[in-house]
Amino acid sequence: MSALDDEILSLLRFAAENAVMPRWRNLAEGEIEEKAKGDFVTVVDKEVEQFLAEALTRLAPGVEVVGEEAVHADPTIADRLSGACWIIDPIDGTGNFARGDGRFGIMIALADGGEAIAGWIYDPQRDRLCRARRGEGAYINSERITARASDQTPPTLAAMTGFMAAGQRALFEREIAPHYALVAAPGCAAEQYPLTTLGTHDIAIYERTLPWDHAAGCLFLNEAGGRCARQDGSPYRVDTQRKGMIGAATPALWDAFVERLDQSGYVPGSDS
């Protein structure tokens, strides 16, 4: 790993060992808040984001920091996404974490000009670091990995239908879902992207594509040789509010799935 990878891993491990894991399944009732219906934040999210923001600022003083909780408190911070910035998801899968579910992780991405150039996804329970740098491949810890599909027919599909509008979801369930083997999405992008890359899930379709959830994972999947892009084939950018993205273990799976979406009339962000 590079010196930067080593530094990031040290920060992630410190946050996990000193803030995340001691509070997992050990949160008091008053330490969990609901920002919006079904969207939770805990004291741990806030502590980890503050720690990482300060540490990353010391590491690269000229690079802005965009954290999920900071943007919730002050939406103008999202304006920094078009320049050089760190993007932090202090606990991805907060709802799982708050319930005592094990599917959560910490995500950091480095972006510039609206595009992710490096990303790190850390699983504190496995001490597993999924990492990627643009043009340099994808790695799990020190092992370079290649995305692979499952051997299932039909292919497996994880669909985040809860974020679809009612009409859009009905169209998806009628025209798309019957052609695939549906699998339960983990409710955590830090888990979903490795599942897609490592052959457990063949395809994942997202409606909500916030930068802290997707910058690191989309880069990781693409660098592993899978494909992650908007339905129209354009690359994911962290500085837009567009909806909809598809990640697939292979470009062929991505192409076939998107062709079916297009033929059905499925449009991201619509209520058709």
The residue with tokens 């980890």 is 48
Dist CA 221 CA 13 (whole Å)? 23
Q: Please give the distance of CA 26 from its chain centroid, rounded to a whole number.
A: 25
Dist CA 221 CA 145 (whole Å)? 10
Dist CA 244 CA 247 (whole Å)? 10
Q: Is 92 annotated as a binding residue?
A: yes
Dist CA 6 CA 80 (whole Å)? 26
Dist CA 63 CA 109 (whole Å)? 12
In this structure, what are the phi and psi dihedrals at residue 217, rounded to the nearest 5 degrees?
Answer: -70, -40
Q: Which string of b and e fits 114-140 if b means at least 16 CB within 10 Å?
A: bbbbbbbbbbbeeeebbbbbeeeebbb
Q: Is 54 annotated as a binding residue?
A: no
Q: By the 8 A CB rule, do 262 and 105 touch?
A: no
Q: Please give the distance of CA 268 from its chain centroid, rounded to a whole number.
A: 18
Q: Is 31 annotated as a binding residue?
A: no
SS3 132: strand
Q: Is 101 annotated as a binding residue?
A: no
Q: Is 17 annotated as a binding residue?
A: no
Long-range contacts (CB closer than 8 Å, 24 or more residues apart) made by 35-43 = 35/72, 38/95, 38/162, 39/95, 40/94, 40/95, 40/98, 41/69, 41/72, 41/94, 42/91, 42/94, 42/97, 42/98
Residue ranges of the annotated binding site for Mg(2+) are 68, 89, 91-92, 213
Residue ranges of the annotated binding site are 68, 89, 91-92, 213
